[in-house]
Amino acid sequence: MDGQAASGGNSPLIPNITAQNKEYLIARLEDYKSGKINHPQMSLIAQMLSSEDIKNVSEWYSKIEITIKLPFDEINKPKLKE
Ligand code: HEM
């Protein structure tokens, strides 16, 4: 295990938190932990995390950098010079 997922995940049921805003992640995890929001899996996971763990894991996911690839093909690619 190196902390790196083999893929970004593709389940419509499990949110992709890669590169998500840190404060947002902290807020959601604290909400699961306190019981303000509930989900069978996430409530269990959040309850096992200390607030320090929540900060650390949120920082980890928020700091992952992603790149996007626009759906241009070679033909539509803007030409920089002739
Ligand atoms: C350290 C591990 C994990 C972290 C940091 C984490 C973090 C989060 C966060 C921040 C959310 C809220 C996303 C949002 O509302 O935008 C979430 C939701 C969710 N997570 Fe996790 N998660 C972890 C592990 C897991 C695992 C192992 C599963 C499944 C087996 C899982 C299943 C889900 C599901 C189904 C939701 C949506 C719950 C809902 O609809 O309220 N998570 N997770």
pLDDT tops 90 at residue 65: yes
- How large is the angle between the packed helices 22-34 and 51-62, nearest 10 degrees? 150
Q: Centre a 10 Å sphere on the Cβ of residue 27 and count the other Cβ atoms it contains.
A: 13
Tell me, what's the pLDDT at 10? 73
Give the alpha-carbon dihedral of 77, 78, 80, 82, to 10 degrees: 80
54 Cβ below 6 A of ligand 1: no
* Of 73 and 21, the one with more pLDDT: 21
49 Cβ below 6 A of ligand 1: no
Q: Among 55, 56, 66, 57, which residue's Cα sits nearest to residue 19?
A: 66
φ and ψ of 80, to 5 deg? -85, -35
CA of 56 to the centre of ligand 1 (A): 15
pLDDT digits (tens, 9 = 90+) for 14-28: 999 999 999 999 999
pLDDT digits (tens, 9 = 90+) for 18-60: 999 999 999 999 999 999 999 999 999 999 999 999 999 999 9
36 Cβ below 6 A of ligand 1: no
Tell me, what's the pLDDT at 75? 67
